[in-house]
Amino acid sequence: MSQEPVLPALIMFTANGKIKDALLEVVLVILPNCTSEIKHDVKHFIETNGQPIHAKARQLDPKRLAIAKEEFTFMLNNEIIRPSNSQWSSSLHLATKKDGSYRPCGDYRQLNAQTIPDRYPIHRLEDFHQILKETKIFSKIDLFKAYFQIPIAEEHKCKTAIITPFGLYEFNVMSFGLKNAPATFQRFIHEVLRGLDFVFPYLDDILIAPKSSQEHEIHLNLVLERLNTFGKDKRKIQWTDEAEKQFEKCKNDLANATLLSFPNSELPLSLFTNASDTAIGAVLQQYENSTWQPIAFYSKKLNDTQQNYSTYDRELLGIYLSVKHFKHYLEGRTFTIYTDHKSLIFAFHQKLDKAAPRQARQLNYISQFSTDIKYIKGENNIVADTLSRVTEVSSIDYDQIADAQTQDEELKSLQTITSLNLKEYPLPSGKYLWCDTSTSKIRPYIPEAFRKQVFHHIHGLSHPGIKSTIKLMNSKFIWPSIKKDVQLWTRTCIPCKKAKINRHTKTKLGEFEVPSGRFCVVHIDLIGPLPP
């Protein structure tokens, strides 16, 4: 496997998508050999509670075993890892990267559960967004394998030990998957770039945003010199045809991207909100170039109690939660709230003692920011209305499914089937989910305990027939007996049986007895209305 990236790690572009031709010298930040001298004092500490945790070595198929051995050989040669005799051990995990290759790391879930958290703050991306209003040229530096620049404290290296089929190893430098690794690196990068107010670091990504091309070149050199002082290395990349092709693709993608406006405190501000039966939506906009331009969006699903609120209460809740979400933009600003529920425009003209306690609390909070609520027709409140109808695509708990997969024997047998291409995909919680990628859609493997739940989630939407349900389930999930199980569950579905009509009953023609005399029975047939 190639250990060096082939594409530039720094790309310069302008806000309107045009590349500045005078600044096409591309610099690649690369990983120095870990045997080189460390030029900083930052170390990663792993303070834990409890006894040492240990795990067994996971079995790997021949292909993944060969990849793991090759990666560990590389890390051994570069002193990223070393052989270990630790009492601690975590299972080996091969995380799938975007390019389809693997990153070896430890399954540190048990270790992380015992680790005392580091509360060093991680930046919010919104903090950068609101201070870029007058900047037009940007450079983004992506540090390659940046975590390996942080050594682990000697007394804590034993806790990073990974057990593999070919030995036990521990990390000399900070590994991926460790609980406090982001906080440690954020602290380090703040030390590296301290005093450079024009730089915005977010973990291993660095954004440089000056107001002119002259400033940009100066600022860029200052940042690269600072990185070099703390032990990064840089060189000009070999500019190949492939690099030129990818660079042009980056330019085109940036030029065609849909962009939010940068907040400008001197422009009029408005908050458009809406609430549906199941969710609320809002868009924060500012008036520039004779039109409303979006700054940020917000959408949130209502819980069961909130869904039972009256229309007035749901719309008021939408304004309250939206103001609360965007308060860092709205504090100290004059802005107008737009809603398509006309009753709310009189909310601040009534006495609060007539409002319910919940309404009074929400109105009191909103009034701390603005009391200017105006009506807008629903047909003109398209963005907020659309966001209010975005609900969760799935209520399936994939974290629990990921936990169940680790003990599933059927999954291990599926990994030997060549027609499937099983890979692990990271979840937001940090866990990993086994999925099949042999088709155009990524299909998670579902353990037995969750199969009927998943079936009810898909089939319960509209109760389609057997063939349609099997087709839907096959396109979204996999397990060995999926067709047989889905066929049985669809055939025995109680709501389907109650709604299905197997026999059509027709009412017989009525029979009348022969009357005993004339006009003793009168029959009337109503017709009409007739034309005038």
Please, is 507 exposed, middle or buried when counting C-beta atoms within 10 Å of its C-beta (0-12, 13-18, 19+)? exposed
Q: What is the mean pLDDT of residues 75-98?
A: 87
Q: Where, residue-wise, is CATH 3.10.10.10 in the chain?
A: 18-247
Most confident of 22-26, 77-81, 98-102, 255-259: 77-81
Cβ partners under 8 Å of residue 250, min gap 6? 11, 13
Candidates 402, 397, 396; CA nearest to 93 is 402
Alpha-carbon gap, residue 333 to 344, rounded angstroms: 21
Q: What is the mean pLDDT of residues 348-370?
A: 86
**Residue 305 CB: number of other CB atoms within 10 A?**
7
Candidates 234, 309, 322, 233; CA nearest to 272 is 322
Percent of the chain whose pLDDT exceeds 90: 19
Which has the minimum average pLDDT: 105-114, 235-244, 249-258, 511-520?
A: 249-258
pLDDT of the residue at 204: 78
pTM of the model: 0.51
**Residue 33 in tokens:** 């050999």
Q: Where, residue-wise, is CATH 1.10.340.70 in the chain?
A: 419-499
**Strands across the sheet containing 269-275:** 291-301, 279-288, 269-275, 335-339, 373-375
pLDDT band for 234, please (50, 70, 90 cuts): low
**Strands across the sheet containing 432-436:** 422-426, 432-436, 443-444
Which has the minimum average pLDDT: 280-284, 366-370, 436-440, 498-502?
A: 498-502
pLDDT of the residue at 29: 40
Q: What is the mean pLDDT of residues 83-109?
A: 83
User: Between 353 and 187, where is the model more confident?
Assistant: 187
249-301 pLDDT, tens digit per residue, is 777 776 655 566 778 888 889 999 999 888 899 999 998 888 888 888 888 88
| Locus of tokens 């047989």 | 484
269-390: which CATH topology?
Answer: Nucleotidyltransferase; domain 5 (3.30.420)
> How is 158-202 classified by DSSP, letter by letter?
GGG-EEETTEEEEESBPPTT-TTHHHHHHHHHHHHTTT-TTEEEE
Q: Where, residue-wise, is CATH 3.30.420.10 in the chain?
A: 269-390
CATH of domain 419-499: 1.10.340.70
Report whether pLDDT(391) > 60. Answer: no
**What kind of architecture, by CATH, is found in domain 18-247?**
Roll (3.10)
Cβ partners under 8 Å of residue 90, min gap 6? 53, 55, 106, 107, 108, 110, 111, 160, 161, 162, 163
pLDDT band for 1, please (50, 70, 90 cuts): very low
| Contact (CB, 8 A) for 451 and 479 | yes
Instruction: Give me the chain's average pLDDT, please.
Output: 80
Show the beta-strand stretches assigned E in 427-514: 432-436, 443-444
In eight-state DSSP terms, residue 120 is P
